[in-house]
Amino acid sequence: MPASAAPPQATRFGRYRLLEQLGAGGMAVVHRAIVDGPEGFQRTVVVKRILPELSKNPKFVKMFLAEARLCALLHHPTIVQVNDLGEVDGDYFLAMEFVDGVDLSSLLRHAFDLRRPMPPGVACYIAAEIASALAYAHALTDDAGRPLAIVHRDVSPSNIRVTPLGGLKLLDFGIARAAGHLRDERTLTGTLKGKISYMSPEQADGQPVDRRTDVFALGIVLYECLTLERLFRGEDDFETLRLVREAKVWPPSSVRPDLDADVDAVVARMLARTPEARYQSCDEVAQALEPIVRRLDGDAAALRRYLQELGPIAARAEPPSQATTPAKASATPRTVTRSSGELRPSGAPGERGWLWPVLAALVMAGGLGGVFALSRTPPAEKAPPEKSSAPPEKFASKEPPAPPRAAEKVDPPAAKTIQLSIAGPTGAEVFLDGKSIGKLPLDTPLEPAPHARTLLVKRAGYDPWTATFDGARDQHLDAKLHKRAAKSTEVIKDPFGK
């Protein structure tokens, strides 16, 4: 707050004095507050008041209290600490540590406005730090050693706080799960704005979720930090849901050519459509990012320098909402699928018969959308490459993966290999899980792997081609690279705006 500004009028709420409102969402109103102690002691906190209509919902309150008690067990330097849980005159609330700084969503909007892309090392550092925090929460057990099965369910830029010194804090554990137990449509429409874009495909399908949902959501955050582009954003919520369910994704280097294959490979695996094809834990994500962060000089000091370059961030009144008017160019995003070796652009909206049952399950993605507004952000030098207005043609594998033979036995297992054959433009370089393995055309044996593997094919002047495939079966693929389209002269519209 500027020194010349008058202090906000305080409102008494139990033992807290509520100062200015920092944000509001479909579930709560957020205030900066003061808690007083003896001998003039004061501490600034954040009070998140659950909306009165939700406080009157016994089912919600029961789940909210259970989840909040779990969240109070989280003690990690990158997770906002819950200090108090209570009720004042029938209104339930959480009191949490106050974190000076700005949410990552505002930072990305500001960087986009200034056309200052985030250094790749800084983007990977942010993702690695949040991955470590998530891994800690996922692994938490009770006193008897039983897993608590904590899943965030709402990892998004608005729930990541960046401090002026380059620190990071993750907000709002457990709130989304409490929202998931509500089924009335009025609450649904109030809690989903701006959140659908960060769901996993299984969330969009109303399926049970686990820690791999957080891996996918963090992959979206990393992609957007690297490219300053929204990954899943349609003309309306239904279109966005379709994009999420299909999970077709271009590698970040197709938007920002200075990114290397290692970064593309990590993002590809985090954003695999099926949970089985992703990293199986956030620990794996952090380990995969660690050497990249080190090589690209990503750390708190680098993030702090980037914030200083960007200058003061003007906070906007609301976080970006999926329901508000998006850029027209986003209607046909440049996306490709990463499953079964097939890569396709998103097409016209599919059949809508699935929408209502999915919509009924959407509340799984609810959350409070931490929008604590203070300042500090960044500026950058070069504008990110502009999106091509023309979507790519359909890419498909030459042949489907060979099915296993019923009578075939592996004997001995150590002697078995699989064959990887890739056709395509002569001389294009092939990367397997981020490492170069040769140039096209390619026909090479590989050791079988029990998990999905990621391919990336690059050639100067062409859009990259990428796919994931079953690491235990022979693969015969056709990498149909297409010449990179000329840059559009259309003015870039704000992908993080309203």
The whole-angstrom separation of Cα 209 and Cα 403 is 29
Continuous H helices in 228-299: 237-246, 261-270, 282-295
Distance of CA 391 to the CA centre of its chain: 23
Q: Specify whether the CB–CB gap between 282 and 210 falls below 8 A.
A: no
89, 113, 154, 236: which one is catalytic? 154
Nearest in space to 107 (alpha carbons), one of 314, 326, 317? 314
Please give the C-alpha separations between residue 218 and each of 200, 203, 234, in angstroms, as whole numbers.
10, 14, 20
Whether 462 contacts 395, CB under 8 Å: no
CA 213, CA 282: separation in Å to the nearest integer? 10
Do residues 160 and 311 make contact, with C-beta atoms less than 8 angstroms apart?
no
Could you identify the residue written with the tokens 């930072």? 107
Three-class DSSP labels, 128-176: HHHHHHHHHHHCCECCCCCECCCCCCCCCHHHEEECCCCCEEECCCCHH
21 exposure class (CB count in 10 Å sphere: 0-12, 13-18, 19+): middle
Active site residue 36: no
Overall size of the chain counted in residues: 498
**Judging by DSSP bridges, how do beta strands 42-50 and 91-97 pair with one another?**
antiparallel
Phi-psi region of 316 (alpha: psi -120 to 50; beta: other; left: phi over 0): beta
Q: Exposed, middle or buried by CB within 10 Å (0-12, 13-18, 19+), for 445?
A: exposed
Residue 423 forms beta bridges with which residues?
478
Known catalytic residues? 154
